[in-house]
């Protein structure tokens, strides 16, 4: 089997199956075969990620994670799934039944919609659209409506408060999210994800020179994008709306059993989708990192990069404490928005300068300058001090 054949194996299988099905239902079969793998792979990835996250967090906190169910605890998602399914589904008496019921469904549906435009491998994207990026952000915006529905439908003031805070947080961080991807769109010249990945292909010797993360605006944009992605998925350190110690569980307090599992699923799927988009925009999509590694199929590279980003999410979760609501909002509007605007400016300079080291340095200057200035200004004169423990020393 040549590397090319292994790389395109799923595409070939799909074409063969579509070819051999009766003509009338061919579009339906084609559609189903494109969508079904997504519906199978990403929830399985969700299951694996939950246990990896718990074990990873445990190790970072000097303890074991779950290690009783199955070898090294890897069948834990099975136990969790059974528990979620057999729990009684409690709906509060005064709850808005339709809204309460539809919220988790809408969340999961919009989360799945986001996968339609992420190229998982060479020639492997469900919908090759011209404005794929706008589609992605539109689906993300629709997630906010479902979160609001969840908070409203529970007829619980704390849930409503949590939902409003969650929506405010998600809207605030959408601005830096979209703006940091605008820089990529500017340089790539297209909103289509497949085009963006193609523009990042090619090597300079061994090094994947064209990945946008290796440019100053790309690196800054990538970091800002990941921070905004953490906030969009309501993950630590931005998980105030669903923090257990703050407002019980925020907007999904009143959900039990399978609906809770659906919320969890929707949140993680959103996280995977946005990581997938970060891989596509900044890390070269399904391209191999070093030129002599191109024999490994493209879809393996995509998932490897995705898992690396997820490991980064878990790492950040295990390290940072939760941000307070006002700290969160200040961070979005006062720090990230100006930084993203400077990233766009820097990308503009990049476009018009001849390539070389000078270009790199010149484009890095405004970003670093603004970072240092904003850091000084926003710290308000406080300095980071070494923590001392009065009685422990």
* Cα distance between residue 316 and residue 57, in whole Å: 10
Instruction: Give the nearer residue to another protein in terms of CB position, either 118 or 288.
Output: 118
Instruction: Give the nearer residue to another protein in terms of CB position, either 25 or 40.
Output: 25
Instruction: Give the nearer residue to another protein in terms of CB position, either 185 or 288.
Output: 185
Instruction: Give the nearer residue to another protein in terms of CB position, either 4 or 61.
Output: 61
> Phi, psi at residue 204, to the nearest 5°?
-115, 95
Largest Cα–Cα distance of the chain, in whole Å?
Answer: 79
Terminal-residue alpha carbon distance, the chain: 64
Instruction: Give the nearer residue to another protein in terms of CB position, either 67 or 291.
Output: 67
> Phi, psi at residue 121, to the nearest 5°?
-160, -175
**Least distance from C-beta 90 to another protein, angstroms?**
22
State the angle between helix axes of 337-352 and 357-379 in degrees (0 to 180), rounded to the nearest 10. Answer: 170
Alpha helices (H) in the chain, listed in sequence order: 3-7, 9-19, 26-60, 76-86, 97-113, 132-153, 157-188, 193-199, 216-232, 244-247, 258-282, 298-319, 325-330, 337-352, 357-379
Residues 6 or more apart in contact with residue 325 via CB below 8 angstroms = 165, 169, 240
**Least distance from C-beta 371 to another protein, angstroms?**
7
Instruction: Give the nearer residue to another protein in terms of CB position, either 45 or 323.
Output: 323
* Cα distance between residue 122 and residue 142, in whole Å: 29
> Phi, psi at residue 208, to the nearest 5°?
-80, 80
Instruction: Give the nearer residue to another protein in terms of CB position, either 161 or 304.
Output: 161
**Least distance from C-beta 98 to another protein, angstroms?**
8
**Least distance from C-beta 299 to another protein, angstroms?**
26
**Least distance from C-beta 252 to another protein, angstroms?**
18
Instruction: Give me the residues that bind another protein (CB under 8 A), please.
Output: 56, 59-64, 96, 99, 129-131, 134-135, 137-142, 144-145, 148-149, 152, 160, 164, 167, 171, 174, 190-191, 315-316, 318-320, 371-372, 374-375, 378-379, 384
CA dihedral angle for residue 283, residue 133, residue 268, residue 96, rounded to 10 degrees: 170
**Least distance from C-beta 384 to another protein, angstroms?**
5
**Least distance from C-beta 267 to another protein, angstroms?**
18
């Amino acid at each position: 089997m040549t590397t090319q054949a292994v790389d395109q194996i799923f595409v070939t299988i799909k074409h063969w199956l579509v070819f051999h099905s009766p003509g009338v239902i061919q579009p339906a079969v084609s559609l189903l075969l494109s969508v079904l793998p997504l519906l199978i792979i990403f929830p399985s990835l969700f299951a694996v990620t939950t246990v990896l996250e718990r074990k990873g967090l445990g190790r970072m906190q000097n303890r074991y994670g779950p290690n009783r169910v199955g070898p090294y605890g890897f069948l834990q998602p099975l136990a969790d799934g059974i528990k979620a399914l057999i729990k009684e589904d409690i709906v509060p008496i005064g709850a808005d039944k339709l809204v309460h019921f539809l919220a988790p469904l809408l969340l999961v549906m919009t989360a799945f919609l986001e996968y339609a435009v992420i190229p998982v491998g060479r020639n492997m994207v469900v919908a090759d659209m011209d404005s794929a990026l706008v589609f992605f952000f539109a689906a993300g915006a629709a997630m906010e409506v479902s979160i609001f529905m969840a908070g409203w439908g529970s007829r619980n003031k704390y849930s409503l408060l949590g939902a409003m805070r969650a929506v405010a947080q998600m809207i605030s961080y959408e601005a830096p999210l979209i703006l940091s991807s605008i820089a990529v769109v500017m340089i790539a010249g297209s909103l289509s994800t497949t085009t963006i990945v193609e523009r990042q292909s090619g090597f300079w010797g061994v090094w994947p020179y064209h990945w946008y993360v290796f440019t100053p605006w790309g690196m800054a944009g990538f970091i800002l994008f990941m921070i905004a992605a953490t906030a969009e998925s309501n993950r630590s350190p931005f998980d105030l709306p669903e923090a257990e110690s703050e407002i019980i569980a925020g907007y999904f307090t009143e959900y039990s059993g399978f609906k809770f599992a659906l919320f969890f699923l929707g949140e993680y799927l959103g996280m995977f989708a946005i990581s997938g988009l970060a891989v596509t925009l900044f890390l070269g999509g399904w391209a191999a990192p070093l030129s002599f590694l191109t024999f490994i199929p493209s879809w393996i590279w995509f998932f490897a990069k995705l898992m690396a980003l997820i490991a980064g999410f878990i790492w950040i979760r295990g390290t940072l404490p939760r941000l307070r609501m006002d700290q969160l909002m200040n961070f979005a509007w006062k720090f990230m928005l100006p930084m993203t605007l400077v990233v766009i400016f820097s990308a503009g300079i990049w476009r018009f300068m001849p390539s070389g080291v000078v270009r790199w340095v010149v484009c890095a200057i405004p970003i670093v300058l603004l970072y240092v200035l904003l850091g000084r200004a926003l710290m308000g004169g406080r300095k980071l001090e070494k923590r001392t423990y009065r009685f422990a020393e």
